[in-house]
Amino acid sequence: MTPSPDAVPFRSPIMSIEPHWIDFNGHLNMAYYHVLFDRVVDQMWLTMGLGAAYRQERGKSTFTAECHVRYLRELHPDDKVEVAMWLIGADDKRLHSFAELRHATEGWIAATSETMTLHVDMETRKVAPFPPDIASHVAAMAAAHAAIARPPAAGRAIAMPVSSTAFVAEHN
């Protein structure tokens, strides 16, 4: 299946917060932000031919190598959410994606997730190039997403100011 260039960024259907995902603070537990993002990864990957059938029939899959999640605003039991996802980079073995988890009716961003995903040969369990047909789907998606604005929060790193080392020195 070839991704449609007009479907950028990729958008999930509206999803509900499941009651058992709420923690003792009365908001969505951090682990379930990952669940919501992961559901959309599976949906977007499927449009590039990287679903369960690909794994079953061709013995290849994808593994997450790195993920950076920013928790920006609490989600609560009755909230409805949706995810917008961009493929912001790709090469012959890797996919670099960025996603925003938004409140479905009010539009504010609850969290972002930036992920590096590797294409893996399941027999050798090693990173391997995409086959030509899948590479063309990946390239089409990457080109479509390159034609729109890159999310401003993409590429952020975790860091503390250098002055934070003074805190450590004071308390040792």
Domains and their CATH numbers in the chain? 10-170 (3.10.129.10)
Q: What is the pLDDT of residues 109-143, one digit of tens each?
A: 999 999 999 999 999 999 999 999 999 999 999 99
Q: What is the pLDDT of residues 81-116, one digit of tens each?
A: 999 999 999 999 999 999 999 999 999 999 999 999
- Could you give the CA distance from residue 171 to residue 137 in angstroms, rounded to a whole number? 54
pLDDT for the residue numbered 5: 45
pTM of the model: 0.88
Diameter of the chain measured on Cα atoms: 59
Which of 117, 116, 112 has its CA nearest to residue 152?
A: 112
Which of 30, 3, 14, 157 has its CA nearest to residue 84?
A: 14
* Structural tokens at position 143: 């080109």
Q: What is the pLDDT of residues 52-73, one digit of tens each?
A: 999 999 999 999 999 999 999 9
Residue 6: pLDDT over 60: no
**What is the secondary structure of 32-73 as a DSSP string?**
HHHHHHHHHHHHHHHHTT-SHHHHHHHSEEEEEEEEEEEE-S
